[in-house]
């Protein structure tokens, strides 16, 4: 294969449609990226930054990065791990790694058995046919658990394989378990915890693309932090502060402002993650009132 031509623009692969496509695009847009669409809508030319998007099937993303066609990708860990193990099986290093974990698109790769059956442990799978779209990940897990079983590779409708007599049990992606239940299957063990990740090479990029990638990662970290930030505001009598302050959710140092008559204070604190009703009730019980939780639109320290 001829080496890829030098490039001074970053190319990011995301899923064209499906579960990860829209959130991936929204995440990149929240980093201030804008694009111009090609006529076929498969290539988005970056306008605000030299970051172009390639819209593809999620299964193609690791290969596109490994081959140098794209620099980064947003893909499920399940797809990345399967690809990397496949390459290693062929004796080639995958050369890919997770640059960031994104915390959404979460699911599990689970082994599921007939719902009427008891589960005694991995050794129960010995000699069975296991339908899966993730043969490399499954094979590694079987090897780690010293179990000899036979993966049956299917590219879709894995969950109906036992009913069709193609397999005895399945190893499939699960988020709520609804699809498995509808097929009289019960998840019994997890072989991989997955979420959407930024996949990229395990070495630095060439041609100045690393600099663009660094800038993108900085913006992305900021955008993620912003999305997870809330401003919690409350009023309270000054004498309740010693009880209240230790109860505040983890976050930045709170700002305490005096209100008119010196007996009241207003407290503001930037917190990470959402603030539960239980937490608000706890604060109220300790003397707080006028509690308010606000989203944060922008932040510059």
Among residues 58, 60, 82, 110, the one that binds Zn ion under rule CB under 5 A: 58
| Cα(72)–Cα(13) distance, integer angstroms | 6
3-state SS class at 65:
helix
Residue 175: which of Zn ion, ligand ATP, none does it interact with, CB under 5 to 8 A by kind?
A: ligand ATP
CB 146 → ligand ATP: shortest distance, Å? 28
Tokens, residue 192:
């991989």
Among residues 10, 12, 13, 20, the one that binds ligand ATP under rule CB under 6 A: 20
How many CB atoms sit inside 10 A of residue 258's CB? 11
CB 185 → ligand ATP: shortest distance, Å? 14
User: Which residues contact residue 223 at a Cβ distance below 8 angstroms, ignoring those fewer than 6 apart?
Assistant: 27, 30, 31
Nearer residue to ligand ATP within complex by CB, 19 or 238: 19
DSSP H or E stretch at residue 21:
helix 21-29
DSSP H or E stretch at residue 167:
none
CB 241 → ligand ATP: shortest distance, Å? 44
Residue 180: which of Zn ion, ligand ATP, none does it interact with, CB under 5 to 8 A by kind?
A: none
Query: Should residue 78 be labelled a site residue for ligand ATP when binding is judged by CB under 6 A?
Result: yes
Query: Should residue 80 be labelled a site residue for ligand ATP when binding is judged by CB under 6 A?
Result: no
User: Which residues contact residue 161 at a Cβ distance below 8 angstroms, ignoring those fewer than 6 apart?
Assistant: 131, 152, 154, 167, 170
CB 157 → ligand ATP: shortest distance, Å? 11
Q: Which residues in this chain contact ligand ATP in the complex, by CB under 6 A?
A: 15, 18-20, 57-59, 76, 78-79, 105, 107, 173, 175, 194
């Amino acid at each position: 294969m001829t080496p890829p031509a030098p490039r001074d623009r970053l190319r990011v692969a995301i899923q064209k449609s499906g579960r990860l496509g829209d959130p991936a695009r929204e995440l990149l847009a929240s980093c201030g990226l804008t694009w111009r669409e090609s006529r076929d809508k498969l290539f988005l030319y970056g306008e605000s930054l030299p970051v172009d998007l390639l819209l593809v099937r999620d299964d193609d993303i690791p290969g596109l990065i490994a081959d140098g066609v794209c620099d980064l990708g947003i893909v499920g860990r399940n797809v990345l791990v399967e690809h990397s193990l496949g390459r290693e099986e062929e004796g080639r290093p995958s050369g890919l790694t997770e640059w960031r974990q994104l915390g959404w698109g979460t699911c599990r790769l689970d082994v599921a058995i007939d719902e009427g059956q008891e589960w005694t442990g991995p050794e129960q799978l010995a000699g069975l046919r296991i339908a899966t779209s993730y043969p490399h990940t499954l094979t590694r897990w079987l090897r780690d658990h010293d179990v000899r079983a036979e993966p049956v590779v299917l590219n879709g409708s894995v969950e109906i394989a036992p009913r069709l007599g193609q397999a005895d049990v399945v190893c499939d992606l699960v988020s709520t378990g609804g699809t498995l239940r509808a097929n009289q299957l019960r998840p019994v063990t997890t072989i991989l915890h997955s979420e959407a990740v930024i996949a990229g090479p395990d070495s630095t990029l060439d041609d100045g693309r690393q600099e663009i990638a660094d800038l993108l990662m900085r913006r992305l970290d900021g955008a993620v932090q912003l999305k997870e930030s809330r401003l919690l505001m409350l009023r309270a009598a000054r004498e309740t502060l010693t009880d209240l302050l230790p109860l505040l959710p983890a976050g930045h140092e709170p700002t305490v402002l005096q209100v008119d008559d010196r007996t009241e204070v207003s407290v503001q604190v930037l917190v990470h993650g959402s603030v539960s009703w239980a937490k608000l009730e706890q604060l109220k019980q300790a003397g707080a009132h006028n509690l308010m939780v606000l989203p944060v639109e922008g932040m510059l320290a």
